Structures are given as structure tokens and as C-alpha cells.
Amino acid sequence: KGKVRNVYDLGQSYLIVASDRISAFDYVIPTIIPDKGRVLHKLSMFWFDFIQGVVPNHIITGNFESFLPSIKQYEYLRDRSMIVKKAKRVDIECIVRGYLAGSGWKEYQRSQTVCGIKLPGGLKESSKLPEAVFTPSSKEEGGKHDENISFEEMVKRVGKDTAESLLRISLELYKRVSEDSFSKGIILADTKLEFGFYDNQLILIDEIFTPDSSRFWEIDKYEEGKPQDSLDKQYVRDYLERIKWDKSSPAPELPKDVVEKTMEKYISLYEKLIGVGF
């Protein structure tokens, strides 16, 4: 059981179920966001199809109708579940940043760097970076927080060939998806990707380019020099910071208006990117 996903071992494969749970700052929030799991699943399936040819992925099927009868008896799983290959996960979160936001902006103000990478002076909050940067982090278990690591540290952990492949593939995926999103009126500010090995081949796993794993902004509302009104879970993070939750006590329940607004943002993003009603 992960923060958002439940994973079931089917023997030769896994069943991954996207729940309606939401996490922020690595904590699971006790309030669910209705239909959120369906948005994550359907967007991931859309992007897995879109990026075919760049890197293989773990999908066997995300089509509920093709599931075994023993699984199909659970109607809840429809449009939120995928059967995937059993990959050996690479314990690195591959983060690509095309814009200066979040923790990257905080660090830049201190040291003109993002994850130790030197950037030009004069950038503002939400500025587009001269070119996208790859900023890996560790993948921690047991409630520990992931930590930013240097490319050199990543090489030590996974080897030079794997590290260089992760860098190259992550940047290529970000480029393709950000260009497609931009053509639909959406800026992909940054994203997180995960990979694994299957039959000794590097493959893409987990979810991809969803409002849980990425930061999305609307082009017509974009304004450099301030935080953006994003179509992702930043809205929940902003609420938690606004109420000054100290992250030491259990996460608080979300009020009804925050739940509704978050869902509205997720569905709006889905409809803009895929071009059909949710």
C-alpha cells in the first residue's frame, strides 16, 4: 500500500490501483478526493500511449474489460487499475524541471542553484529555465523523505550507463510531453518519473505526467514573478501552508471547498490535455 496506490501481486504481474487518496509533503491526507484515481489512471494511460517509441513501459493492460473475471467482479477497479510487468525498480526519482518553482525556487533565492546546478542570475519565481534541468532524488521507504542528490551521487548508486540513460530518457520524455501540452494551452513546469528493469531492459513504470507527479499551469494565466494557479495538487499544498500545518502532527482533514476545487482542477487538466469530457 503506497501513499496513493495499492499494489496487488498477481504472481506473474502486479495489479496497480489508483485510489482517491491524496498526499502532500510526503504525508497522506485523511480526506479523499472523489474520482482522483480515475483521472490519474486515464491520464497515465494516455501518456503511456503517447510516448511509445521513446522507452518501453510496464503496461500489460489498463483495460478493465480485459481483466480476469476474478478481478472484474470489483467494479471499483474500472478506469483506475492497470496490470503491469514486475519490474525491479530503480530507486531514483527522475525529476525534470523546465520552470523555477516550488523547492527549486526556494533554493535559487538562497544560492542561485537548483539541486546544486548553477543557474543564471536574474530569474524570477516561475521563470522558464534556459533549458530543462535533470534533478534526481533518492527514493526512500518507510516514511522517510526523498532527498535531492547530485548526478555524481546517482552514478554511484546505479552505475554510469543507467544514470546516463535515465538522464537522456527523462529529458526526452519531458520535451515531447511539454511540447504537446503547450500546444493544448498547458505548461508542464516540472515532472517526476520512475523507471525499473524488466528482462535487463530499462522501462518506464508507475504513473506519468499526472497532476500528482507534475506541475501544470495554464498558458493564458501564466505570469512570471509569482506563484501560478496550477492545475495539480499544489492547491492542497498551498492550503496546508496557509493554515500553517507544522507537518509534525497528523495531517488535517481538508474542507469541502478545497476538495471540490482540487477535483475541479484535476478534471479541467484532464479535459484540456485529452480533449474529451471526463
In this structure, is the dihedral angle defined by the CA atoms of residues 184, 213, 42 and 238, taken in order, positive or negative? negative
Beta-strand relationship, 22-24 and 27-29:
antiparallel
Q: How many residues does the chain have?
A: 278
- Measuring CA to CA, which residue among 22, 160, 162, 143 is closest to residue 91? 162
Give the mean pLDDT per block of 10 residues along the chain (278 residues).
94 97 93 97 98 96 96 97 97 97 93 93 97 92 76 96 98 98 98 98 97 97 96 93 91 97 97 96
DSSP assigned state of 187: E
Q: Report the greatest alpha carbon distance in the chain.
A: 59
- Angle at which helix 234-242 crosses helix 256-274, to 10 degrees, equals 160
- Rounded to whole angstroms, how far apart are CA atoms 164 and 171? 11
- Domain range summary for the chain, segments of one domain joined by +: 5-244
* The three grid cell numbers given for residue 149, joined into one nine-digit string: 542528490
- CATH architecture classification, 5-244: 2-Layer Sandwich (3.30)
Predicted TM-score (pTM) of the model is 0.94
Strand-pair partners of 188: 216
> CB atoms < 10 A from the CB of 54, how many?
15
Span 160-208, pLDDT tens digits = 999 999 999 999 999 999 999 999 999 999 999 999 999 999 999 999 9
Please name the residues in contact with 255: beta carbons below 8 A apart, sequence gap of 6 or more. none
Collapse the DSSP code of 135 into the 3-class scheme (helix H, G, I; strand E, B; otherwise coil) and give the result: coil
| CA separation for the pair 9, 179 (Å, rounded) | 36
